[in-house]
């Protein structure tokens, strides 16, 4: 018995001696790291590139890529909820930055404060101040943003516009003037897809209708939804809807984008993942094959959404997860991930030469525009509001009653604590 113990000690010492030099080269983290996300398909390679960087730095860690597919994380979020409620959190999970995280998981006291990490890595200086405000509360900072997407972009094909003799509209009045001309030519002025893209359109229209200050006041609970400004936003939205295609609810956003590319529709308002789709999948050159402009009435405003990763309390491999977050926030990680994903980096010191023409222009706007949070993609409001808003949108698409929709929004805001 004693002998066995001595042998064990010798083996242990030997292992330490052999192991020591390795620890100098790379971190000595061991065990698993489970990353929970909904990035598959087009977005899979970007995530894989990040995991490659992580593996190079931490060869001892076994990375488990737990992806649950489904657009904007519908299925992933349901799986995540059952896991968290069952007391089995992943080490780190993807979430839309902002209220979707704060109103759900932070309010439930399920997340760790990342302020120390932000300070240690010097991220307070490299991320824009406005962004840090939106991903944090007075109690801390809750997630590491990996990318920035812009939501208020209007897409078109320059050659087609020239053919029809219209220009990309700067305001909604310009749009209505152009739209009548387009309708006469048998072209759908604005391509729309299934209902969540209507939410997406609504936020751009509402921002144009009420302006950035009112928009922020709305989500801070200072401007009621059934105020004159709120009703006016719904009125404008109803007017815009008259110029969209009737079969919207059975199209995906890609199909709506295709309508613009085919020349069946003139414009489409969609987030800038549409640029990724047109550049990567459709092989079009930014600026020639497709053009873009801030959605009408929102020039100088940058409505953003961001994917980010957080650290749940009780993560089984906390150290590994923190190393993962460090990769996500680093310049190298950010500049590897974003050109592949088709988004811009959240850091201000990004290497712009790695990005294509559209992304460079978006990065320039992000640096100088007024940044506001998106509703449809989780920045502005919590999940209770977002879930209810989808129902209100259904009602509005059917009844087209601005008053009822604005009142319903006000009730919903009360219920979800805005």
Instruction: Tell the smallest beta-carbon distance from residue 283 to other proteins (Å).
Output: 23
Using CB under 8 A as the binding rule, whether residue 186 contacts other proteins is answered as: no
Asked if 331 contacts 349 with a C-beta cutoff of 8 angstroms, the reply is yes
Q: Which stretch binds other proteins (CB under 8 A): 2-10, 219-227, 340-348, 404-412?
A: 404-412
Question: What is the DSSP secondary-structure string of 72-139?
Answer: GGHHHHHHHHHHHHTT---SEEEEETTHHHIIIIITTT-B---HHHHHHHTHHHHS-HHHHHHHEETT
Instruction: Tell the smallest beta-carbon distance from residue 312 to other proteins (Å).
Output: 11
Select 46 or 393, whichever has its Cβ closest to other proteins: 393
- What x/- string results for residues 285 through 324 when contact with other proteins is judged by CB under 8 A? ----------------------------------------
Using CB under 8 A as the binding rule, whether residue 394 contacts other proteins is answered as: yes
Using CB under 8 A as the binding rule, whether residue 224 contacts other proteins is answered as: no
- What x/- string results for residues 87 through 126 when contact with other proteins is judged by CB under 8 A? x---------------xxx-xxxx----------------
Applying CB under 8 A, which of residues 231, 346, 375, 393 lies at the interface with other proteins? 393
Using CB under 8 A as the binding rule, whether residue 367 contacts other proteins is answered as: no
Applying CB under 8 A, which of residues 147, 388, 406, 413 lies at the interface with other proteins? 388
Site for other proteins, residues 38 to 77, rule: CB under 8 A: 74, 77
Applying CB under 8 A, which of residues 50, 134, 248, 363 lies at the interface with other proteins? 248
Residue indicated by tokens 């219209």: 166
- Which residues of this protein are in contact with other proteins, per CB under 8 A? 74, 77-78, 81, 84-85, 87, 103-105, 107-110, 194-196, 246-250, 382-384, 386-388, 390-395, 397-399, 404, 407-408, 411-412, 415-417
């Amino acid at each position: 018995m004693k002998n066995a113990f001595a042998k064990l000690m010798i083996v242990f010492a030997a292992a330490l001696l052999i192991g020591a030099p390795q620890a100098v080269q790379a971190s000595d983290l061991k065990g698993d790291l489970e990353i929970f996300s909904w990035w598959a398909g087009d977005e899979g390679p970007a995530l894989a590139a990040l995991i490659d960087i992580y593996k190079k730095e931490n060869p001892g860690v076994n990375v488990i890529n737990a992806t649950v597919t489904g657009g904007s994380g519908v299925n992933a979020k349901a799986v995540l909820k059952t896991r968290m409620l069952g007391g089995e959190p992943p080490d780190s999970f993807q979430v839309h930055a902002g209220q979707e995280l704060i109103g759900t998981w932070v309010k439930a006291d399920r997340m760790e404060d990342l302020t120390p990490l932000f300070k240690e890595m010097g991220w307070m200086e490299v991320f824009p101040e406005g962004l840090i405000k939106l991903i944090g509360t007075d109690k801390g900072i809750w997630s590491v943003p990996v990318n920035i997407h812009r939501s208020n972009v209007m897409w078109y094909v320059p050659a087609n516009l020239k053919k029809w003799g219209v220009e990309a509209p700067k305001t909604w009045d310009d749009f209505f003037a152009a739209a009548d001309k387009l309708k006469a030519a048998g072209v759908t002025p604005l391509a729309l897809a299934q209902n969540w893209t209507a939410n997406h359109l609504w936020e751009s229209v509402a921002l144009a209708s009420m302006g950035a200050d009112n928009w922020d006041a709305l989500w801070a609970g200072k401007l009621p939804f059934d105020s004159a400004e709120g009703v006016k936003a719904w009125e404008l939205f109803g007017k815009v809807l008259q110029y969209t295609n009737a079969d919207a609810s059975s199209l995906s956003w890609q199909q709506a984008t295709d309508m613009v590319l085919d020349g069946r529709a003139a414009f489409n308002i969609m987030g800038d993942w549409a640029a990724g789709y047109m550049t990567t999948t459709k092989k079009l050159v930014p600026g020639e094959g497709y053009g873009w402009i801030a959605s009408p009435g929102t020039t100088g405003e940058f409505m953003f959404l961001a994917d980010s990763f957080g650290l749940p309390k009780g993560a089984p491999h906390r150290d590994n997860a923190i190393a993962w977050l460090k990769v996500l926030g680093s310049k190298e990680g950010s500049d590897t991930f974003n050109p592949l994903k088709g988004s811009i980096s959240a850091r201000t010191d990004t290497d712009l030469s790695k990005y294509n023409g559209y992304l460079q222009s978006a990065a320039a706007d992000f640096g100088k525009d007024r940044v506001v949070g998106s509703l449809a993609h989780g920045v502005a409001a919590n999940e209770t509001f977002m879930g209810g808003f989808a129902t209100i949108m259904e009602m509005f698409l059917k009844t087209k009653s601005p008053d009822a929709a604005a009142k319903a929004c006000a009730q919903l805001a009360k219920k979800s604590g805005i």
